[in-house]
């Protein structure tokens, strides 16, 4: 025999009253439920990421806020709020409840800015409708130089170069929760226009190409050294190994080229690693410059560029020197 358990409404579910707000205003439970479902109802979401090498200062953030406020004038907005969160190194965070408060941000701080998250919430009544719709625009801006600096402090020594460049690939992201795509598209286009107007460093095609193939450099340098060493050893055989050559000379030849093979191939691999690391760690500036800590970190990264170029040139010269040594070993006999 089956058992049926039935739960009945006791009649107080929708006819009761609740108190809301600081003034404890009493409203019916039915009205409260309608408002709750209206605000928390399901919405669609659109997200766009930008890999541009943006150079953002406080004036650019003011322009962004101005664009959003201009767009608000187009719509019938009955309620809105905003918040700005600034994330610093060592997981330090500052929260502002309005852009006006954000203008009082301490520019003398020495902790670099890792990211800034700006969120706008709007209740909009579209044209021709009476019920409001909820929209949330979340903008995340990331300082690539601060993120790489933070990762280098926390990650093991062997995790460098290419890994960090992929981690910090996105410098800006906008997420829009919406009910009407046409309205959401307006916010997205305003952000696109702001991105295009921001100072930025163009992407270097040659650097992208080199990074795609940098992983084969160590083995390639080692292979070239091995081929050249073998070629010059073959050319030297008639001079030192013949029917009239003494066993002493033949033994010296084999010892010399065997030792050279081990030493030069090891140095060639190390040289290739040096060149690969220089290519993968070449600093491309993309930052948020809001305080003195940001300015100091930016200057440090500019100095890294010179050191990386010198490392690359040094590795290339060392590879050439090893190959020249491979061709002159017979002079040591």
How much is the pLDDT for 68?
Answer: 92
Q: Is the pLDDT of residue 30 over 80?
A: no
Residue 180 has pLDDT above 90, yes or no: no
Are 182 and 212 within one domain?
no
What is the number of structural domains in the chain? Answer: 2
Are residues 195 and 47 located together in one domain of the fold? yes
Question: Which tops the pLDDT comparison, 244 or 289?
Answer: 289
Q: Is residue 97 part of a domain?
A: yes
- pLDDT score of 288 more than 80: yes
| Per-range mean pLDDT, top range of 18-22, 206-210, 329-333 | 206-210
Dist CA 223 CA 19 (whole Å):
79
Which residue range is the domain that position 258 belongs to?
206-332
pLDDT band at residue 284, thresholds of 50, 70 and 90? Answer: confident
Q: pLDDT digits over 32-52, tens only?
A: 666 665 666 556 889 999 988
Phi, then psi, of 210 in degrees rounded to 5: -65, -40
Looking at the structure, tell me whether residues 228 and 305 fall in a common domain. yes
Burial class for 320, CB neighbours closer than 10 Å (0-12, 13-18, 19+): exposed
Q: 196 and 70, same structural domain?
A: yes
Residues 49 and 184 in one domain: yes
153-167, 173-187, 204-218: range with lowest mean pLDDT: 153-167
- Together in a domain, 235 and 189: no
The pLDDT value recorded for residue 159 is 58
Rounded CA gap, 43 and 64, in Å? Answer: 24
For the cut 60, the answer to whether the pLDDT of residue 8 exceeds it is: no
144 found inside a domain: yes
293-305 pLDDT per residue, tens = 999 999 888 888 8
The winner for highest mean pLDDT among 2-6, 50-54, 154-158, 321-325 is 50-54
Separation in Å, CA 118 to CA 66, 90, 249, 295: 13, 20, 77, 22
Residues 65 and 195 in one domain: yes
The three-state DSSP-derived secondary structure of the chain is: CCCCCCCCCCCCCCCCEEEECCCCEEEEHHHHHHHHHHHHCCCEEEEEEECCEEEEEHHHHHHHHHHHHHHHCCCEEEEEEEEEEEEEHHHCEEEECCHHHHCCCCCCCCCCEEEEEEEEEEEEECCCCCCCEEEEEEEEEECHHHHHHHHHHHCCCCCCCHHHHHHCCCCEEEEEEECCHHHHHHHHHHHHHHHHHCCEECCCHHHHHHHHHHHHHHHHHHHHHHHHHHHHHHHHHHHHCCCCCCHHHHHHHHHHHHHHHHHHHHHHHHHHHHHHHHHHCCCCCCEEECCHHHHHHHHHHHHHHHHHHHHHHHHHHHHHHHHHHHHCHHHHC
Q: Which of 162, 177, 202 is the last residue of a domain?
A: 202
Classify residue 146 as exposed, middle or buried by CB count within 10 Å of its CB (0-12, 13-18, 19+).
buried
Q: 181 vs 163, which has greater pLDDT?
A: 181
Predicted confidence at residue 160, as pLDDT, reads 55
What pLDDT is recorded for position 109?
Answer: 85
Q: Is the same domain home to 109 and 167?
A: yes
Under the banding of pLDDT at 50, 70 and 90, the label for residue 137 is very high
| Three-class DSSP labels, 80-118 | EEEEEEEEEHHHCEEEECCHHHHCCCCCCCCCCEEEEEE
**Closest to 123 measured CA to CA, from 113, 133, 138, 111:** 133
**pLDDT exceeds 50 at position 227:** yes
Whether 34 is in a domain gets the answer no
pLDDT band at 58 (very low <50, low <70, confident <90, very high): very high
Residue 5 has pLDDT above 50, yes or no: no
In this structure, is residue 31 part of a structural domain? no
239 pLDDT exceeds 80? Answer: no
pLDDT of residue 124: 87
Whether residue 224 is predicted with pLDDT greater than 90 in this model: the reply is no
User: Is 258 in the same domain as 192?
Assistant: no
pLDDT, tens digit, 9 for 90 and up, residues 79-128: 889 999 999 887 788 999 999 999 988 888 888 999 999 999 998 888 77
């Amino acid at each position: 025999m089956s058992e049926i358990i039935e739960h009945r409404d006791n009649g107080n579910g929708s006819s009761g009253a609740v108190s809301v707000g600081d003034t404890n205003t009493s409203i019916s439970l039915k009205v409260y439920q309608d408002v709750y479902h209206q605000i928390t109802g399901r919405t669609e979401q659109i997200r766009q990421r930008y890999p541009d090498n943006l150079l953002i200062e406080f004036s650019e953030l003011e322009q962004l806020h101005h664009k959003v406020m201009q767009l608000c004038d187009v719509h019938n907005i009955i309620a809105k709020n905003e918040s700005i969160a600034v994330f610093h190194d060592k997981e330090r965070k500052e929260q502002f409840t309005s852009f006006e408060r954000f203008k009082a941000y301490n520019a003398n701080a020495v902790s670099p800015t890792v990211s800034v998250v700006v969120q706008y919430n709007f209740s909009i009544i579209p044209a021709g409708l009476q019920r409001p719709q909820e929209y949330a625009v979340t903008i995340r801006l990331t300082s690539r130089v601060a993120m790489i600096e933070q990762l280098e402090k926390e990650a093991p020594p062997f995790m460098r170069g290419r890994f960090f460049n992929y981690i910090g690939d996105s410098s800006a992201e906008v997420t829009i929760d919406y009910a009407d795509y046409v309205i959401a598209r307006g916010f997205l286009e305003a952000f696109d226009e702001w991105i295009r107007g921001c100072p930025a460093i163009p992407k270097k095609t040659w650097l992208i190409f080199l990074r795609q193939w940098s992983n084969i450099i160590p083995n390639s340098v080692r292979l070239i050294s091995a081929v050249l060493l073998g070629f010059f050893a073959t050319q030297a055989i008639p001079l030192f190994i013949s029917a009239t050559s003494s066993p002493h000379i033949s033994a010296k030849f084999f010892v010399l080229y065997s030792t050279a093979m081990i030493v030069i191939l090891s140095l060639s691999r190390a040289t290739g690693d040096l060149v690969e690391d220089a290519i993968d760690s070449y600093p491309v500036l993309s930052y948020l410059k809001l305080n003195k800590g940001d300015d100091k970190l930016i200057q440090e990264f500019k100095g890294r560029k010179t050191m990386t170029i010198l490392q690359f040139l040094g590795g290339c010269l060392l590879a050439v020197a090893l190959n020249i040594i491979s061709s002159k070993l017979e002079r040591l006999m």
